[in-house]
Structure 1
């Protein structure tokens, strides 16, 4: 593989960034930006304590301009004092002079083309589990029905996750009763560890009874039994299987919804009116079976989240003095000491204060090999203590643990509509009423103009009614996305929504930050060269200068000096020289530690060390020169090692369809070339300042690539934001990475990145398969209506059967492996 140097700064200054406090500078900048974004809201609060605030999470924003649009749109509302939207975190703060001003906000945001959910809601805002939905039109019917209730302020039902978020002023029992009216079952989650599964044994028995009655009636029609008796059996079967959809259809019509229950009930009643009792009963029975099978299949996709919830145990052994007391995890506070025995799951995030063990972190990070843990190491809820008893100091409450955040983020992700899903939903909203009207026209116009009998065209119209529901098409995308996101979460990868899943499937180039991503990020001192004084003197000065820096190279020098027992000198007036190094005053004289460019700018001769520096750099090592304004004291060489998994991960990415792998680094040409060769990247951009990484991403985009950027989620924030897809690595325990990136690799390596790319491409393929299959089935059914080849029960079978096939095809993503 040929490495191509794409140095965007061929004539620019060389930077080794050895002593640059880049990370801290970025953090200061970030915190400053956050401060500025919230400053106005805080100022209003301080000047007027009566002002109330609300925080929201805003969905569907795809650029910073969206945030500005929302700010301008909401600022026009009555009694709204200030609106601030942060695109990066997808959060919005609203200040208002009274509580009523917040009521129209979510509706207004929907008008602007976005959606929002309160983070600190007022009123009785709850989440309910909804059982019995088999397509997204069911969710819409529930929303429309509940919106007619004056006690309901806002409601959102998500078919994919089977959950309803609702703000209401009446009791939970009232809401559950209202949902049951329309034919579905609502319930509050039992606890944080598990969610109730829908059980409908009575309903299944009734469907079986209905099928038996239809069979008896059909057999009776070939015997001497009165036709009236067969008709009665068919009618009873229709009532048994059709009561629930008919009741749902009544409330759907009442709330002006046109869902499958309405269409199917109309078709069944119409069939009965024209004497086709067997057809009507079969339609209702097939519909009931289809609904049951679809519901059972969709439950499998929702189990991916329930399984995550069951990872962390609900109770823990807490050390109180010399006793061990079993407590619910909800009762345990930060600072409590819990004891985890060998083979047990760790119940809460914490820090080991006593004991050593190997911990299986696969449930969180997807890593198959247990990680050795000892005193001072962090552990996560839901991971498994392989051997050795551990005393753990709790660092996070149950709702703040890493596994809880993963569950929340995955649920939020599954509630987001991908572009394809949003398009299909819009199409369905137009398609269904048009075909419904066409069915009515078909029933009336042809017989009026004597093109056939009323009964013939009425029957064709009923068939068209059944075909009018695009159930398979509407369900084609969300089930695939939920399955893929669930699969990724199980393998230690967080995909923040369908939008990012689809984007990942189109990526053609991936850019990697070098330090800490392709390499270990833990450089070590490999060589020292002194020109004046001893090695101890050189290291003492270097320790004094670098001790105030958080850069990995600076830390490696500090660690090396400390390991050798070198004491620091007394320094003052420390100063960071961005991109070049640091300086400080030691014993009245200014000392510098930095790259060659720093000393060239200070007009200090490098003649004595030039050849040594070139030799070191040619070996892929970074040099830190120590000196004063008058002379060079010595040189320290530092090297970083490539991760064992980097080369194999990049090779796997190439096999998964990624055309370009690119390394971005601030290191010199020699170091970049060596690391690029070891990692097997196609290209590299060397000698980049932090802001230059953005230009490198744009260069790749201008070449026609869809670009993903892989970094740590903090230092590489501008490049992550500029790329089409931002991927953060090492998300376990890193809240910022989980909050800001589009995709988060929970493990601190690239092992799961190829799986993520393959999974995304597979998801796109399955979504396309589902959409085309649904369209072809509908088109075939429509064509077969007119020559009379399609019967009513065949129309139902084409709809429910197609939906079931689409669901089963999507569920394959749950089992997808590398």
Structure 2
């Protein structure tokens, strides 16, 4: 249950994972605050308890964090890189370091003037770090700033002023890199937030006005000109146009919209003018839900991130112990305390877990953001990782592999009639029937621009068919068995009808004046993209694919054959689908279930990853599934699996880079080659590698 005193805020200038943890602790320490959650990936804050923006910004003053209520229209201006306070200080520190270095090369490192400039460089560039590090040290809390503080103070004590100043400067550069990487990773969310316009023209009580989207209410009429973005979710009242839905669904082709069709906020009206009845408030639009779910997904830790966090608990104390042993043990036997204390300090610098801390979140945030832009909503790092490990996929049939509604697939006219004549008269009769098969025939005639004729004496014969008089001809449409009761049907026609029925199609025989005039078949046709998707998934190495359906076994077998699926389980109730998915998990380990998020909900929940189709139009799909394909199509499924696998590989590479470079640097202790310079370069190099490697996920497209 959502608490009444819960507040949510957007954050700017949140530069690093450690800063997020510290900010969270600072807020938690405030009186009357019962719960705090800082979402580092999405740069959001949730607080339960009375608090003001001023109090929050004071708690984040150490990192220059700016805070804005989530409901506020005020946009936080992103401070340019060169104007940020910490970067200006870093540059000033670098200038002082250069001056000190020039003096030391002309005289010596022990020159008082050189030491003065190095000390000034350390003091200005490392002030914030020292302050945090000393406070942490007093509480026996060891993070990267604590390690750096000990190392630099130690370097100054043993006279290594120049190296201490270099370490301060390079550490600041490393921090800037981390901040830059997270800003880049968050851009995908910011682009989503900028999709929908902030205001729109509406008609209310016959008066046209421009209003902010927050002031538009359900029932208002939205006026959308060609070339304008649609500001709110709604239903088309009047007009005909094509709408580019790519920002929401990832579809590459515009979709035709006419009266009664649903449209989404943030989509682009391309051709005609539309009048749209608003059906959702701005905070409930599909794009608003996507943004919220993407941000929540980034707050959820993936298994690899949990591993890194757990590992870091033991890693940092271990580094401190190793550094202490390096500084104390060798000189007890071989002397030269200064050299080995220096090596111990270098170990502390190498041990900074910057790259390790950022290795997983930057990859997760980048991948989830990229997927959202492509019309795929992945609701957490855990689901991203599990998608990359899938062994088996179960598909619902109706509406997933097939279109989900019946349509005319085959027409055969008798020797003395044309197909158009048969359809024209059949559609005229069926327009009076409410049966789904009848609607399919009427829809087919409409697409073919076949004009219906008036009819007389319409009659429905339960379980058999319908008949009526059209243009003076008695027209009957029904089952083969009923037709055989009325007239003689040739063996060729019967053979053709039975063949169509074996393909899972519903066949209707047409009689004109009690004589055979033709027959037509109606079926829930497979989607044009389904065979290609199944082929792609097989090429990606998915070991097993199965179709689970409540449909008749003959129909299911026919569809499976067309899709080249060898495993099909038909006639299943929702609870039986659930048991089928559980059995697949026991056989193959990780299993995805792809369905529509409604009657497939139990099976979606039981699967390792539940994937819902058509999330853009279905609230249930957005809420139920772990992954939602926003378009009503499977086209993005292979892309999602590829992205997940790439993210998994990059996360593993990042962890290897972060730890590998440090291990190499630590091995340099043995010959005594490890210096503070090498130590900080190893740390900064690992951070840079991790950031650049994670950015590769931005380039993965459909």
What is the TM-score when the length of structure 2 is the normalising length? Answer: 0.84
In the TM superposition, residue 206 of structure 1 has moved relative to its aligned partner by 2.4
- Partner Cα distance (2:295, 2:74) in 1: 14
Which residues of 2 match residues 283-302 of structure 1 at below 5 A?
283-302=167-186
Kept in 2: contact 1:443–1:454 (CA 8 A): yes
- Partner Cα distance (1:349, 1:487) in 2: 23
Which residues of 2 match residues 342-421 of structure 1 at below 5 A?
342-421=226-305
Which of 122, 143, 148 does residue 4 from structure 2 map onto? Answer: 122
In the TM superposition, residue 616 of structure 1 has moved relative to its aligned partner by 3.8
- Partner Cα distance (2:574, 2:508) in 1: 19
**2:416 alignment counterpart:** none
Kept in 1: contact 2:19–2:63 (CA 8 A): no
In the TM superposition, residue 655 of structure 1 has moved relative to its aligned partner by 2.5
Q: Quick one: structure 1 residues 527 and 682, their matched pair in 2 at CA, closer, same or farther if it must change by over 3 Å?
A: closer
In the TM superposition, residue 251 of structure 1 has moved relative to its aligned partner by 4.5
Kept in 2: contact 1:194–1:310 (CA 8 A): no
In the TM superposition, residue 526 of structure 1 has moved relative to its aligned partner by 6.6
Which of 70, 80, 94 does residue 211 from structure 1 map onto? Answer: 94
RMSD: 3.7
- Partner Cα distance (1:556, 1:192) in 2: 48
1:233-280: CA deviations, max 9, x gaps? Answer: 111111121112223324544665322112112211211111110011
In the TM superposition, residue 379 of structure 1 has moved relative to its aligned partner by 0.7
Q: Quick one: structure 1 residues 484 and 194, their matched pair in 2 at CA, closer, same or farther if it must change by over 3 Å?
A: farther
Determine helix, strand or coil for the equivalent of 1:165. strand
- Partner Cα distance (1:412, 1:129) in 2: 15
In the TM superposition, residue 682 of structure 1 has moved relative to its aligned partner by 4.3
Q: Quick one: structure 1 residues 407 and 510, their matched pair in 2 at CA, closer, same or farther if it must change by over 3 Å?
A: same
**1:80 alignment counterpart:** none
Kept in 2: contact 1:512–1:711 (CA 8 A): yes
Which of 12, 15, 18 does residue 133 from structure 1 map onto? Answer: 15
Kept in 2: contact 1:460–1:786 (CA 8 A): no
- Partner Cα distance (1:510, 1:565) in 2: 50
**1:578 alignment counterpart:** none
Matched, 1:694 2:575: no
Which of 385, 404, 415 does residue 502 from structure 1 map onto? Answer: 385
- Partner Cα distance (1:595, 1:488) in 2: 48
Determine helix, strand or coil for the equivalent of 2:41. coil
Which residues of 2 match residues 1-40 of structure 1 at below 5 A?
none
In the TM superposition, residue 487 of structure 1 has moved relative to its aligned partner by 0.7
In the TM superposition, residue 365 of structure 1 has moved relative to its aligned partner by 0.3
Which residues of 2 match residues 236-315 of structure 1 at below 5 A?
236-253=120-137, 257-315=141-199
Determine helix, strand or coil for the equivalent of 2:527. coil
Q: Quick one: structure 1 residues 565 and 682, their matched pair in 2 at CA, closer, same or farther if it must change by over 3 Å?
A: farther
**1:162 alignment counterpart:** 43
**1:638 alignment counterpart:** 522
Kept in 2: contact 1:544–1:569 (CA 8 A): no
**2:648 alignment counterpart:** 764
Which residues of 2 match residues 81-230 of structure 1 at below 5 A?
120-123=2-5, 125-134=7-16, 136-180=17-61, 182-188=62-68, 191=72, 196-199=77-80, 200-224=83-107, 227-230=111-114
Task: Report 1 or 2 for greater relative contact order, CA contacts < 8 Å, sequence distance ≥ 6.
Answer: 1
Kept in 2: contact 1:144–1:256 (CA 8 A): no
Which residues of 2 match residues 302-701 of structure 1 at below 5 A?
302-321=186-205, 323-447=207-331, 449-524=332-407, 556=440, 614-622=498-506, 638-701=522-585
Unmatched runs of 5 consecutive residues or more in structure 2: 413-422, 447-451, 465-477, 481-490, 510-518
1:29-68: CA deviations, max 9, x gaps? Answer: xxxxxxxxxxxxxxxxxxxxxxxxxx1xxxxxxxxxxxxx
Which residues of 2 match residues 6-85 of structure 1 at below 5 A?
55=1
Determine helix, strand or coil for the equivalent of 1:155. strand
Kept in 2: contact 1:130–1:164 (CA 8 A): no
Determine helix, strand or coil for the equivalent of 1:269. helix
- Partner Cα distance (1:320, 1:255) in 2: 62
In the TM superposition, residue 491 of structure 1 has moved relative to its aligned partner by 0.2
Kept in 1: contact 2:657–2:689 (CA 8 A): no
Determine helix, strand or coil for the equivalent of 2:63. coil
- Partner Cα distance (1:679, 1:756) in 2: 21
**2:472 alignment counterpart:** none
- Partner Cα distance (1:452, 1:275) in 2: 18
In the TM superposition, residue 183 of structure 1 has moved relative to its aligned partner by 3.4
- Partner Cα distance (1:489, 1:416) in 2: 16
Q: Quick one: structure 1 residues 184 and 281, their matched pair in 2 at CA, closer, same or farther if it must change by over 3 Å?
A: same
Kept in 2: contact 1:731–1:738 (CA 8 A): yes
Unmatched runs of 5 consecutive residues or more in structure 1: 1-54, 56-119, 530-534, 575-580, 583-593, 597-607, 626-634
Kept in 2: contact 1:484–1:814 (CA 8 A): yes
In the TM superposition, residue 451 of structure 1 has moved relative to its aligned partner by 3.9
- Partner Cα distance (2:198, 2:669) in 1: 57
**1:704 alignment counterpart:** 588
- The answer to which of 303-312 and 437-446 deviates more is 437-446
In the TM superposition, residue 542 of structure 1 has moved relative to its aligned partner by 11
1:576-606: CA deviations, max 9, x gaps? Answer: xxxxx99xxxxxxxxxxx999xxxxxxxxxx
- Partner Cα distance (1:568, 1:515) in 2: 32
What is the TM-score when the length of structure 1 is the normalising length? Answer: 0.73
In the TM superposition, residue 715 of structure 1 has moved relative to its aligned partner by 1.5
Determine helix, strand or coil for the equivalent of 2:60. helix
